[in-house]
Amino acid sequence: MMLAANLTRQFRIIKFGLTVEKSYSAAVKQAAWRAQTFPDTTDKKNPLETFRIPDAADQITRKQKLKQILISGLPFLQKNKKDTISLKRFTRDDWEAEFYGYSVRYELINDNIIHKISKGYLSAEHVKPVYDLQEQILKSCGLSGHPYYIVNDIKELRGSSLKARKKHSRLFAEWIEKYPELCQVVVYGANRLLRAGLSVAVYNSPFSFVFSENFEEAMDSVQKNKENKSFVKSGFIPKKIRRRNSVKHYADELNCFLGNINWEVEGSEELAETKSDEHPFKSVYDAIALIKSDIDELFRDRTIAQVALRESEEVARALLNATSDLALLIQSDGTIISVNHAFTTFLKRNQTSLKGARLADFFPPPVVDRTTTHLKGVLMTGKPALFETQLDGQYFQNTIYPVFNADKKVDRLALYSRDITGIKLAQEQIHLLTQELIKAQENERRRIARDLHDNVAQDLASLIIRSDTLFEDHRDIPWEVRKRNKKFSDILKKTIASIRDLVYDLRPPGLTDIGLVKTIDQYCVEFTLKTEIKVDLYTAGLERIQLDTDTKINLFRIIQEALNNAAKHAEATLIKVRLLGSHPDLILRIEDNGCGFDPEERMVSALKEKRMGLKSMEERVNLLSGSLTLHSREGSGTRIVVKFPSNRAIQEEEMEVESPLQKIP
């Protein structure tokens, strides 16, 4: 429409016809037909005077110049057999110009038609170079001072800026003043609104304006106008417009028509009345009807969109309120769209005050930062995120779900937050009870081990001594009886050896006597002898680290449990044990070359079978304030990594009595 307004102001000084065609083919046909049907005029003073045919001298001069162009350039001649008018096209390499995002090329058609072909959208900085190139072509073809036509693709203006359109209109007006022999401008590529705008513009200008779908329609339209003699040849200006005050009459009628239109209500009775073909402003009324139709369509689309948005918000609100969790709908920029009743109750605010707000308006920075990080992650990946936050002594489990639009892009996010404070407290209680259970277990093991070697072992040792000395004062005891007594003594010795192994498993005495490293090394050697599985033990950095008794026991139990699991389930032939002191942590890594397993499936099956091996290891690591990482995959073995602080103070040192079992051969 801005182009139409500019043309309205500028076209008052020109004398040529403007025709808007739908395609290049129709535009060229129209220009060629006009060039043959209506001869030229060289009278610059009276634009309403009919054209005259140039004299022979002018024709010879132009033919000589065109001959020189054809010799120096590379002509491209084309003739379409289906066309009623023969088209000869010519171009040169220097008739092209290319800019960033825009290019233009010119052709000369039938000696006096300049055809402009462009790609992209015209910018303000392109306008002047394009007109300079067009002027160069006009002069080189010898058209300066002679009648000529311009065929132009107007799509270049549909996406141009206001500055570019203003500059284009100003330079076009200057062009007409400089080269007024222009007979007609034919444009094609206009959309509906641009055609409507041009229709309005030309009725304020002294030339005709004809819309044609194709070349044949254009011919019929011009021929009908010639037969009716309602238009003069020079500009096809309606005779009624030249009457005194007739323009004012039609303008007043048009203003009244425009004033009666309700632009906010779909349709209008006045628009239903079509003007006759003889009415000079018929195209204006048609253009206004077209614009009103487009506006009505926009109103309908907006109404449909508003209804869809309202229904979408109602569905979203219903989904949010379908849960007792805290729930809210957030835009991609973090703005709150909607919340449920549970969220408003939690914050003690109403829906109105929350809509359009941000999380930072209600929550402390640590919670906002953690939540924002996960929001960005969901926006990037399109996958839900699960995380926990703590607020004022309460624990919340948060889940963020992506909400996709019609283009399958994430434009909104649904955040559900569940209060898990009770669950957390129960888990902590279970954790504390488990730790106490492990401590009680160790204490009970210690008591049983002490009872075994202080009572049972001592009694068995005494029994062996009595058995061995039973027949010392009786020389006449038969050999068979002595033999049976010897077997009885051997059984007692084996029993004592079994008790010694049991006591060792319950409470390794070497943890205090020979230290942690030597105790682990001794256990690995005995494990290899029993299972025929090689154990590769390596320790480093433990010389200056002092560990309390509980830490030593828990470390030993973790290694013991890992080796026993590998022997029972892994089918391994080699187990590597690495115990490293690396300030400020102590790191234990146990790795086997067994068959491996799926950790999640193993944990589920262990719970069903009531096996507590891995769970016991985790609890012992928690007692050490450390972390346990399990890596395993079927066919790739298993790796366990335990890390805990090495600066644990020695809390308790229990003195152990040397076991008499160690003296028994």
Give the per-residue pLDDT at 640.
92
Residue 532 falls in which region: left (phi positive, over 0), alpha (psi -120 to 50) or beta: left
Q: Is residue 15 part of a domain?
A: yes
Shared-domain flag, residues 476 and 523: no
Helix (H) or strand (E) holding 34: helix 24-37
* Alpha-carbon gap, residue 229 to 223, rounded angstroms: 10
Please state the rounded mean pLDDT for residues 549-555. 83
Give the per-residue pLDDT at 202.
53
Q: Is residue 431 part of a domain?
A: no
Q: How confident is the model at residue 23 (pLDDT cuts 50, 70, 90)?
A: low
Shared-domain flag, residues 317 and 332: no
For residue 280, the 8-state DSSP code is: T
- β pairing state of 102-109 and 89-90: antiparallel
Question: Which of the given ranges, 53-57, 224-228, 312-316, has the highest pLDDT on average?
Answer: 312-316
Q: Is residue 427 part of a domain?
A: no
* Nearest alpha carbon to residue 505 among 487, 490, 522, 480: 522
* Alpha-carbon gap, residue 460 to 641, rounded angstroms: 43
Instruction: Judge whether residue 246 has pLDDT over 70.
Output: no
* Alpha-carbon gap, residue 378 to 365, rounded angstroms: 20
pLDDT digits (tens, 9 = 90+) for 79-95: 444 444 556 778 888 89
Shared-domain flag, residues 293 and 266: yes
Please state the rounded mean pLDDT for residues 26-52. 49
**Burial class of residue 226 in the structure, from the number of CB atoms within 10 Å of its CB (0-12 exposed, 13-18 middle, 19+ buried):** middle
Shared-domain flag, residues 403 and 500: no
Q: Is residue 426 part of a domain?
A: no
Q: Which residues neighbour 197 within 8 Å (Cβ) at sequence distance 6 or greater?
A: 1, 3, 4, 5, 287
Q: Is residue 435 part of a domain?
A: no
Sign of CA dihedral 466, 471, 474, 480: positive
pLDDT digits (tens, 9 = 90+) for 126-148: 889 999 998 888 888 888 777 77
Sign of CA dihedral 49, 53, 58, 61: positive
Query: For the chain, what percent of residues have pLDDT higher than 70?
Result: 67
What residues form DSSP beta bridges with 581? 586
Q: Is residue 433 part of a domain?
A: no
pTM value is 0.41
Q: How confident is the model at residue 575 (pLDDT cuts 50, 70, 90)?
A: very high
Report CA Rg, the chain. Answer: 50
* Nearest alpha carbon to residue 354 among 323, 391, 317: 317
Shared-domain flag, residues 42 and 174: yes
Query: For the chain, what percent of residues have pLDDT higher than 90?
Result: 6
Give the per-residue pLDDT at 656.
38
How many domains is the chain built from?
5
Full domain range(s) for residue 87: 2-237
CATH code of the domain covering residue 567: 3.30.565.10
> What are 508's two structure tokens?
């390794």
pLDDT digits (tens, 9 = 90+) for 518-527: 888 988 998 8
Please state the rounded mean pLDDT for residues 331-352. 83
Shared-domain flag, residues 310 and 348: no
* Nearest alpha carbon to residue 90 among 104, 108, 106: 108
Give the per-residue pLDDT at 262.
65
pLDDT digits (tens, 9 = 90+) for 448-498: 877 887 788 788 888 888 888 887 777 778 888 888 888 888 888 888 888
Angle between helices 282-321 and 192-202 (to 10 degrees): 150
Give the per-residue pLDDT at 204.
47
* Alpha-carbon gap, residue 169 to 70, rounded angstroms: 32
Give the per-residue pLDDT at 604.
67
Structure-derived torsion over alpha carbons of residues 261, 263, 265, 267, reported in degrees to the nearest 10: 60
Shared-domain flag, residues 395 and 517: no
Instruction: Judge whether residue 52 has pLDDT over 50.
Output: no
Q: Is residue 425 part of a domain?
A: no
Shared-domain flag, residues 332 and 301: no
pLDDT, averaged across the chain: 73
Q: How confident is the model at residue 589 (pLDDT cuts 50, 70, 90)?
A: very high
Last residue of a domain, one of 322, 344, 370: 322
Q: Is residue 189 part of a domain?
A: yes
What residues form DSSP beta bridges with 491? none
Shared-domain flag, residues 394 and 487: no
Give the per-residue pLDDT at 54.
42
> What are 69's two structure tokens?
């162009």
Helix (H) or strand (E) holding 99: strand 96-99
Q: Which residues neighbour 343 within 8 Å (Cβ) at sequence distance 6 or greater?
A: 326, 327, 328, 354
Residue type, 82: K
Shared-domain flag, residues 585 and 480: no
Give the per-residue pLDDT at 37.
56
> What are 348's two structure tokens?
């003690």
CATH code of the domain covering residue 388: 3.30.450.20
Shared-domain flag, residues 139 and 244: no
Give the per-residue pLDDT at 399.
92
Last residue of a domain, one of 322, 357, 385: 322
Give the per-residue pLDDT at 384.
92
* Alpha-carbon gap, residue 457 to 501, rounded angstroms: 12
> What are 536's two structure tokens?
């590769």
* Alpha-carbon gap, residue 533 to 312, rounded angstroms: 65
Q: How confident is the model at residue 621 (pLDDT cuts 50, 70, 90)?
A: confident
Backbone angles phi, psi at 441, to 5 degrees: -65, -45
* Nearest alpha carbon to residue 597 among 626, 628, 639, 564: 639
Sign of CA dihedral 564, 567, 569, 574: positive
Shared-domain flag, residues 294 and 352: no
Which 3 state secondary structure label does DSSP give 520?
Answer: helix
